[in-house]
Amino acid sequence: MSIAIENFVKAIYKNGKRDNNDTKPGNIAKELGISNAAATDMAKKLAVKDLLHYKKYQELKLTDKGTKMALNVVRKHRLWEALLFKLFDLSLHDIHREAELLEHQTSDLLANKISEYLGNPKFDPHGDPIPNAKGEITTTDTSISLSNAKEGKTYVISRLMSDDKEFFDFCAQHGLKYGNTILVSKQFSKNKMTQTLINNNTILLNKDFTSIIYVNEHH
Amino acid sequence: MSIAIENFVKAIYKNGKRDNNDTKPGNIAKELGISNAAATDMAKKLAVKDLLHYKKYQELKLTDKGTKMALNVVRKHRLWEALLFKLFDLSLHDIHREAELLEHQTSDLLANKISEYLGNPKFDPHGDPIPNAKGEITTTDTSISLSNAKEGKTYVISRLMSDDKEFFDFCAQHGLKYGNTILVSKQFSKNKMTQTLINNNTILLNKDFTSIIYVNEHH
DNA sequence: AATTAATTTTAAGTAAACTTAAATATTTTA
DNA sequence: TAAAATATTTAAGTTTACTTAAAATTAATT
């Protein structure tokens, strides 16, 4: 299967996992940087290949086969991130960018070798779970999105769920790093803004960011 | 530049380095598993991009720009081979196959990180030189092709210059491994057959094989 | 609920990287 | 060196993964 197909299936999988859960062609198109028309075209094509269910104007839903493919790509992506993170001094953003390419050129054999070398890790440096060779995911992730965090509570950042350079630059700048502790000082439920305290600095995060930053309660 | 272009330029580079030195479209096409027509097409296209010189019915000659690109791809290929060889328990053939894909999805930054991690090696597990970031190659390779070896002399295998699975399987089976010692017991100059002694086993190699097995004199 | 706005789909078209078949040129060899 | 064999080129066509523009449908808003 082609890189375009792998990326398409992966985008649906990831979008389906998010808050909004919008897997209509337009959303996938935006994610992949292609036109809506191209996304519709591809959706029809993949329906024929039994990778997804397609009904006009409806959400795209992966079949079992499509989900399996998405999980396989995600597995390779996260294994590469874990390996590159371990071996080289590169930023999480750089590592993500490399993994984004390598994931499509990696045999199952090599993926297994990488996993074995790393001691079969269950989470990548972003805190995201790494599916195993069968596509199974460890779901003991108790984290919640920062947009659902409670005022006055302290949390530990467990995932920075994004591929966007700007986002990672922003994170690096403000101490929003995997494992760091933050205090949610104020939560504006209406427009989903969140005011947090990190290293004694108060920062305001809008919904775009709070919905992709995941945290665990700090005990 | 696309994968197809990178592979095309690499094939010319490699063919130009070999005995025959035949870089006409047909030969490149054979190497890449595409039709002659496709190779001619591509050659014309790359001439426009100033990657090679094209004249009808003549050999294809890389420009400086083309050579640079080829060396960059070769560098990435060999760095991947060296890294995978070091980290994982995989056959040279498997490693070659993975590197063949990864080489096109590797940023210069990552290539440099791999090189640094490995201690900036000058040769890969095949014994082939690894160009540095500037495209310079260490040419202190004193090895000769087995077809030019002398009767009665002992040699150390320094390169197995191939991408072919069958060849590597044959090598593995007969102890033709990087670093192993062999005795050339008889050399048939006419048809270029070579009779060698490896681990007390006599084997006969034809020209196809002796021209791609490189050796250094054993002292 | 009706109109406007936004999205999705259809239709038509493009570029890259191929293919096969036929025409043309070059090599080989008898 | 002329004929036969081989290789290269041209021409026409295919597939994949897009594009833009217009038509159809759904969603939002007042």
Q: What is the per-residue pLDDT across B133-166, written as a single tens digit (0 to 9) for each?
A: 999 998 777 788 887 888 888 888 878 877 777 7
Q: Give per-residue pLDDT as tens, B81-95.
A: 989 988 898 888 899
Strand D: which residues 50-79 of B lie within 7 A (CB)? 54, 56-58
- Write the CATH number of the domain with boundaries A144-217: 2.30.30.90
3-state secondary structure of B206: coil
Does the pLDDT at position B30 exceed 70? yes
* CATH code that applies to domain A3-62: 1.10.10.10
- Which residues of chain A are under the pLDDT cut of 50? 190-191
C-alpha separations of A171 from A18, A40, A178 in Å: 20, 34, 10
Task: Domain ranges for chain B, please list them.
Answer: 3-62, 144-217
pLDDT band for B200, please (50, 70, 90 cuts).
low
Instruction: Give, in Å, how far the C1' of C28 lies from the CA of B209.
Output: 26
Same fold, B3-62 and B144-217: no
- HSE, CB side, 13 Å, CA atoms: give it for residue B154: 8
| Distance in angstroms: CA B4, C1' C24 | 27
Q: Between chains, do A90 and B113 touch, taking CB under 8 Å as contact?
A: yes
- Cβ of residue A41 near strand D, that is under 7 Å? yes
Q: If interface means Cβ-Cβ distance under 8 Å, which residues of chain A face chain B?
A: 84, 87-90, 94, 97-98, 101-102, 104-107, 109-110, 113-114, 117
Residue A128 has a pLDDT of 86
B interface mutation test: which of A2, A73, A96, A101 has the most B CBs within 10 A?
A101
- Helix (H) or strand (E) holding A126, with range, is none
From the list B88, B90, B107, the residue facing A98 with the nearest CB is B107
Across chain A, mean pLDDT equals: 86
- Angle (CA) A195-A196-A198 rounded to 5° is 150
Query: What number is the ipTM of this complex?
Result: 0.78
A-chain residues near B101 (CB < 8 A): 105-106
CA-closest candidate to residue B95, choices B103, B3, A120, A84: B103
- pLDDT of A123-173, one tens digit each? 887 878 999 999 999 877 778 888 788 888 888 887 787 777 778 788 888
Neighbours of A186 (CB within 10 A): 13
